[in-house]
Every structure is written in structure tokens, then in C-alpha cells.
Amino acid sequence: MNVAIWNPSLEAVSRDVIERIQLERLREVVHRVYNNNYHYRLKMKERGVKPEDIKTLKDIEKLPYTTKEDLRELYPFGASAVPLNHIAEIRASSGTTGKPTVTLYTMKDLENWSEVMARSLVAANIVKGDILLIAYNYHMFTGGFGFHYGALKVGITAIPAGVGFTQRQVMMIKDFGVTAITSVPNYAIRLAEVAFEMGVDPSKDTKVRKGMFGAAPWSESLRKRIEELWDMQAYDMYGLSELWGPGVAAECVYKHGLHVWEDHFVVEVVDPRTGDVLEPEEKGELVFTTLTKDAMPLIRYRTRDISRILDQKQCDCGRTHKKIDRIQGRTDDMFIINGVNIWPTAIQEVLLGEPLIAPHFQIVIDRENAMDKLIIQVESKTKLSEEDKKLLAKKLAYDLREVIMVSPIVEVVDPGTLPRFDGKPRYVIDKRVL
């Protein structure tokens, strides 16, 4: 098999070398946050740990966790470890309430982000000479720019296509001789459907033979469908906006786990309830410590994503960086609609503010034309006329859109019609068959 490696001197070195780099960088970043960030200093003092206590990689377990709630409390710039005039870019992703999660980048961050993205693209054999359609959102989210920076670094030709205008995207794929695609997984299916409607068979009439997909959960069967429709090799990728964005881990051509770029991130898997560190192969919550993030280093960041570290000494691709399994789910109730993170609690908050609505609701996620559809069923307190139901549904859809950044379909139903639950309520019914 043809295996390209972007940076063999760091990706395919012995474990000793990787671990030496990790320890050196870990000690440096711990000193840095302790000296430059009040929040980290306070949390470390509470745990009775000082930077000089980090003598081995195992000592990382002495450090406190960082959570999404911490970042929310530190909104907007409290997690920064550099002066504001060193910041080159500010990004923000959707959050559980009105406030987004902010990510800050210095020029050094943009350089390192480009490096991990370059490695990820090359791991999927997307290399110089390829023409890459980047069908990710380019505004405040991290998807579009992450792939863009990586492509430029490798020398791949980038097309900043963004999301939507699907017919035009199909036209560009054909006319520009696009060889590789990156998007949320479902969008590869949508592109193929529209191509067929336009009389274009993606597997025969286009040059696309590779793709890299992420930012949403997907399965082996969806991978097979995408590969058949396009006659392509489809690869998985992992990242999150708090850790720059995409490019934390990427699948190599062997499609057995995602290599974590360990000279930039230390990965741990912990029990989501107790916080105990788990062994390789044991399933739990992914936790990352950033080793090179400049503007906003994160110590033991709890991602809420469920996976495991694979117990594999060596990969046939030659890379020595540890691999994680594909994401198996979440520790919270968050779900993802067309690449946007949504928490049921954010929906609940909006609905509870509406006096005509009873505190019973149900979220149904379905798929239409390969795109996700969010249906929110709510119960009115008293029986309403059909006309009043429609008006109320319209108002709620507008209010929800403002908070969750996705347009839902709201259905107002009569009192007493939605299911009641004993114990933990089951708000979300996911009908997407992956």
C-alpha cells in the first residue's frame, strides 16, 4: 500500500523519543499556565500540586481536570495565557446557552494547527497534486479553516466551498477535476444524490477518489455507502474547537483507529463518573492535555467524547503515535445536527420560558435528503386551536433558532399526549439510521 507520511521525523520515531518530547513540553506548559493564568494557578493550588511536581509523564494524573464549565466561566478571554495583543484569531462554537465557547489562536497556534492538519490530510493520502473541496462551514466554526490551513501547508489545491449551494458544488467537483472531498459525513451522501439528479455519476463522472470526514458521529456502514457512491477511500478524523479544531487525531490508510498527534497532545481515557484513569482498550471519556497550544493551553480537558486507546504497539503505516478508536458516543446528552453541537438542556431552557407550554417535550432527529432534521414536539398547557398551535410553533422555532443556531421544526401537540418517563427522562429519539 502507498503510505505517505508528512513529517516522518516526528510521526515515525521511537516511543522513547515521543515520550521524551511529551515530558519536556508537559513540564513547560504546566509552568506556563501556572505563571500566566490565574484560574490554573488556583486550581493547582487547591490540589496541592506545583509545576515542579511533574517529573514523569505519569505525574500528569496529579493535575486537575479542565471542563467545558470552566471555559464557560472564563468567557470570553479568561482561559488565555498570553496578552490579548498576541491573539491572531478568535473563534467561537455554539454552546449550551447563549454564550459560545471561545478559542484563541496566536500565529504560533495557526502554524501548529496547520502542521497537525497537514499530517492528517497526508495520513489519508491526500497530498500535493490533489484538488480538495472543503465543504465545511467557514465562519466561526473551525472546520473550514482547519482543512484550509492544512491543505495550503501540504501544497494541496484548496477550494473553500463552504456548506450549501450543492448543485454548484457538484459542478465545481466535475469542472475543476476535484480529487478529494472533506465535509461532515452526511454531506458526502447529499452531494452524491444531487450529482445523480444532475445526471452525474460520482463514481464514473468525477475524479474524486478520497475523502476525509468528521465533526459528526458516523459508522462503518455509512463509510461503505460513501465509498461505493464515489468509488473513494473515506477516512475518519477527530478534533474539537477547544483543541484548535479538527486535526487532533486522524485515520491512516489502514483504517484501524485514529493516530493522536502525540507531540502536540497527551491523550488519556478516564471513567466519566469517577475520573479514574483507565487502561488501554478500556472504554471511557477522552481527556487531552495540549502540549503546544500557545494562546489557550488546556490541561486535562474533559471532552465528553467516548472512545478508547487501542493497545497496539505498532501500525503498519510506520507511525508510532497511539491510536484511538472512532468516537462511540457522548457522556452528556449532546447530539449533533448537520455538524452543529446541540444540548437538550439548551432547548429545555427556551421551552421553559414559554408560559403556554407544559414541561413535557420530545426531540426527534430524522434524516431527509441525507441532511439531519430536528423536530421538537411540545405539549401545550391547555387545548389550543389549530391556528394558535401554528402561531405558537412558529414563535418557538424562532426563539430556539436564536439559541441553538439550527432551525427546528416545532410541533405543538395537545395536553397529555407526549410520553411520560419514570426516572431519567428520554428527550431525544434519534431516527437516523447510520
Q: Which residues bind Zn ion (CB under 5 A)?
A: 252, 315, 317, 319
Of residues 201 and 311, the one with the C-beta less far from Zn ion? 311
Please identify, using beta-carbon distances, which residue of 230 and 235 lies nearer to Zn ion.
235
Q: How far apart are the first and last CA of the chain?
A: 29
Host H or E run for residue 395: helix 386-404
CB of residue 317 to Zn ion, shortest distance in Å: 3
C-alpha–C-alpha distance, residues 385 and 387, integer Å = 5
Rounded Cα distance, 353 and 103, in Å: 30
What count of other Cβ atoms lies within 10 Å of the Cβ of residue 295?
25
Min CB(135)–Zn ion separation in Å: 26
Pick the closer one to Zn ion by CB: 86 or 255. Answer: 255
Q: How far is CA 17 from CA 6, 22, 56, 252, in A?
A: 18, 9, 14, 21
CB of 245 to Zn ion, least distance (A): 22
Closest CB to Zn ion among 223 and 319? Answer: 319
CB of 253 to Zn ion, least distance (A): 7
Using CA atoms in the order 254, 258, 264, 266, what is the torsion angle rounded to 10 degrees?
-130
Using CA atoms, how far apart are residues 434 and 432, in angstroms rounded to an integer?
6
Cβ atoms of 277 and 14 closer than 8 Å = no
Non-local (6+) Cβ contacts of 397 within 8 A are 407, 408, 409, 410
Of 125 and 292, which CB lies nearer to Zn ion in the complex structure?
125
Output 252 or 357, the one with its CB closest to Zn ion. Answer: 252
Q: How far is the CB of 327 from Zn ion (least distance, A)?
A: 18
Q: How many residues does the chain have?
A: 434
Query: Residue 216 in contact with residue 339, Cβ under 8 Å?
Result: yes
Q: How many angstroms from the chain centroid is the CA of residue 83?
A: 27
CB of 220 to Zn ion, least distance (A): 17
Q: Which three cell numbers stand for residue 302?
A: 474533559
Assess contact for 259 and 252: CB atoms under 8 A.
yes
Strand 301-307 vs strand 329-330: parallel, antiparallel, or unpaired?
antiparallel
Cα 216 from Cα 189, distance rounded (Å): 14
26 Rama sector, left if φ>0, alpha if ψ -120 to 50, beta otherwise: alpha
Nearest-10 crossing angle of helices 185-197, 166-175: 80
- Report the residue number, 119 or 360, with the smaller CB distance to Zn ion: 119
Q: Are 206 and 229 spatial neighbours (Cβ–Cβ below 8 Å)?
A: no
Report in angstroms how near the CB of residue 370 gets to Zn ion at its nearest.
30
CA distance 329 to 307: 8
315 vs 347 by CB, closer to Zn ion = 315
Q: Which is nearer to Zn ion, 232 or 260 (CB)?
A: 260
DSSP state of 329: E
What minimum distance in Å lies between the beta carbon of 256 and Zn ion? 7
Q: How far is the CB of 185 from Zn ion (least distance, A)?
A: 21
Least Cβ distance, residue 251 to Zn ion (angstroms): 8
Q: Are 278 and 284 in contact (CB under 8 A)?
A: yes
| Cβ distance to Zn ion smaller for residue 29 or 123 | 123
Nearer CB in complex with Zn ion: 208/258: 258
**Minimum CB distance to Zn ion, residue 320 (Å):** 9
